[in-house]
Chain A
Amino acid sequence: MSFDSNAFLIIFTGALIAISCGFLGVFMMLRKMSMTGDAISHAVLPGIVIGYFVSGSQRSLEVIIGAGLLGILATLMIDWLRKKARVQLDASIGITFTLLFAIGIILVNILAYKVDLDQECVLYGEIAYLPIDSWITQSGLNLGPRITWLAGLNFVFVSGFIYLLFKELVLTSFDENFSAVMGLPSKGINLALMSIVSYTTVSSFESVGAILVVALLVVPPATAFLWTKRLIPLLRLTAIMGVLIALFGYYLAYWIDSSIAGMMVTVAGFFFLVSAFIHSKKPSWLSGTSASTQPLELE
């Protein structure tokens, strides 16, 4: 149990990723699209593999472009299945992401000799190796861990996106018809949100893994939503929770020697459960024989 520069870097990076995901997750939740986030984070896998194969490197622009395209493709495919083929929404999400993810896994296996990308890395990520993987410029200057820079860049993008489009995002989330009447391109904003979710998924997949991005997209906003209904406190609580789960997640994982990303999610799940217990409807026997909270209405 120590606090050195490695621990700080890992916690800092974890918190950055958790906050970026959480901010986007708040808007996904308000649009009742949590499962779409799940679908996107599965569906970017083939894009990542193809991008990797084309460029030969895990850190290239092609990977990000491939993943971004696949994320948008997944959104469009869900939409197409629902509107054109008239499949119900839950089934279209399920079909889309299982198909794209399966294709991704097959590609990983076919290209196993050419692409240094294993299933485990894609699924769970390994944030623990982050301090070893430094970004060194050609003149030999060590600028610190590459993934931290990526997470920071992503954080700047996400915050900038939300800051610039805050009004539009809020309006399209709460009242799509009204925003259409106002002349806002609600479909375009939706696609922009999906693209930035895909981008976040890619830039986080190395550290926390594609599947666990879902947890960071969904669980902190859901927990915050149990405490407040107002948007600004919702974002603030989500951010605080992002920092807390990174902190506790790191030390607990260190303690039992396990996956840091998995532990972050477990901690988030624990927070969620406690909040759910506090804010759930209480069973009737807890209130005893005290006066009924809903007085009888007399006509």
Chain B
Amino acid sequence: MEDFVYFFTFQDPSIAWVVLGITLLGVGSAYVGTFSFLDKKALLGDAISHAVLPGICMGFVLAGEKNPVYIVTGAFLSGALATFMSSWLKRNTKLSEDTIIATILSVFFGFGIVLLTALQKSGNPEVAGLNSFIFGNAIGISESDLLLYGGLAMVIILVLTLALKEFRLMVFDPEFGQAIGFPMKAITFLFNVLMILAVVIGIQAIGVVLMAALLITPGAAARFWTDRLNPLLILAAMFSVVSGILGTYVSFVIPQMPTGPWVVVFLSAFALISFLVSPKSGIVFRFFARKRYLEKTHREHLLKALYKAKESKKPGLTIEEIYGLYPFHKRETLQSISSLQKLGFTTKDQPIIKLTSKGISEAMRVVRLHRLWELYLNESMNIAPDHVHDSAEQLEHLITPELEALLEQRLNYPSVDPHQETIPRENNELR
């Protein structure tokens, strides 16, 4: 708890600096990552983040020490080479995109390992610090590093905000952008540059192996909560900033813990929660929506059955008769019967279940939609009368009042369906 207060009150200026850096990094990478996610280029980020390793080692060799400027430049150049090569291979060979990306990723990383091992065996004491680039160590960031990484993150955020319209075009409709005179190639190029930069700024805090998560996961998680671009960007940035700070906190409390893995675990937790509980597209929500829909259809089928019994001059149906209609669905049927009663659509007269007058209206509506749709299929689509029932069985639950009015108008208020059964209306003699 003491650690918690100490960390989150930012008494220690170096912690404040690190948190500021992680925040900028999170916002920058989440912005770029969301665009690349929408552009279906998520794995390119993974390839780039592995591919910067040889550049880091080269930068180290040239500088002779852990000079952030050299390392960032080296990382940027090798990331750029990897991006260029993957697009060249895509244009000029018959290999599929995932093969190309996996190849680039592993070859660059393998070459990076060769350089790193050779450096480690050279005996330079500074080399030990290079390991932190693989899994990241946010606490180890010095103030001068921070100025560089934070500055680059600011540049990314600024460029993306200023050219939001252009990037939006690139993701959603590049042909249209081309047609109205935007230089789409230059915009794509600029975006690739930003993507490499976003990877480069993360290598110190998150590490090359897991940097891909910071690009992919926030966008994917935020996508479940909104369909609009601006809220999407803000939400993605929030996810990544909160996970970044939590990850930094863990590696502050437990000193030998690398930051990267914890940031990724928190981010993935946000993502999994979003997948499960987000309204509209979450799994839990979809499960209950489906269940509700199935219950509604079952209720309406039952109403229809009761209405048909009324048509054949029976007062209602006994529970056994209803069970007989839906074999093996006793539980659902029982549930539908009781919920129909609660809604006031049916009454129970000893063994017989009858429609109330409210129930008759509702049952008429469903039967009417069913028969109207059968007639429409038969008359306008030329489908044989014995083929129309199944489609109507599904559509009767979905047709809206507006559509019903249109159908009535189109069919000129018909009185019978293709099977010569009366289409029920409110002034029906069965009332």
Residues of A within 8 A of B (CB): 29, 32-35, 37-38, 42, 81, 84-88, 90-91, 93-95, 98-99, 101-103, 105-106, 109, 112, 119-120, 123-124, 209, 211-212, 214-215, 217-219, 221-222, 225-226, 253, 256-259, 261-266, 268-269, 272, 276, 279-281
Contact = CB atoms under 8 A, between A and B. Distances in A.
Given A38-B102, A95-B268, A262-B116, 7 more contacts: A94-B43, A101-B209, A101-B210, A119-B134, A218-B106, A222-B100, A256-B118
B241 to A, nearest CB: 18
A273 B114 CA distance: 18
A256 B118 CA distance: 7
B106 A81 contact: no
B376 interface: no
A84 B283 CA distance: 7
Interface string B256-289: 1110111011001001000100000101000000
B106 A94 contact: no
A279 B94 CA distance: 9
Interface in B102-116: 102-103, 105-116
Secondary structure type dominating chain A contacts: helix
Contact of A261 (B96, B98, B99, B113): B113
B256 A109 contact: yes
B217 interface: yes
Contacts of A120: 131
Contact of A85 (B37, B117, B264, B283): B283
A172 B220 CA distance: 30
A98 to B, nearest CB: 4
B329 to A, nearest CB: 25
A167 B106 CA distance: 30
Contacts of B50: 211
A264 B109 CA distance: 12
A259 B112 CA distance: 10
B97 to A, nearest CB: 9
Nearest to A268: B107
A86 B281 CA distance: 9
A25 to B, nearest CB: 9
B291 interface: no
Given A84-B283, A266-B111, A211 B106 contact: yes
B102 A37 contact: yes
Pick from A93, A112, A218, A272 the residue with the most CB of B within 10 Å. Answer: A218
Contacts of B117: 124, 258-259, 262
Given A218-B99, A256-B118, A257-B121, A266 B46 contact: no
Contact of B261 (A33, A106, A222): A106
A149 B45 CA distance: 38
Nearest to B115: A258
B5 to A, nearest CB: 24
A177 B50 CA distance: 35
B261 A269 contact: no
B213 interface: yes
A79 B275 CA distance: 14
Rank and list the top 4 A-B pairs by shortest CB-CB distance, nearest first. Answer: A265-B110, A269-B107, A215-B106, A262-B113
A23 B112 CA distance: 25
23 contacts: A35-B43, A90-B42, A99-B265, A105-B258, A119-B134, A119-B135, A123-B209, A124-B113, A211-B50, A211-B209, A212-B109, A218-B103, A222-B102, A225-B95, A226-B95, A257-B121, A258-B115, A258-B117, A259-B116, A263-B114, A265-B109, A269-B107, A272-B103
Interface string B124-136: 0000000100110
Given A91-B37, A91-B42, A222-B99, A257 B118 contact: yes
Given A32-B98, A35-B98, A222-B99, A112 B256 contact: yes
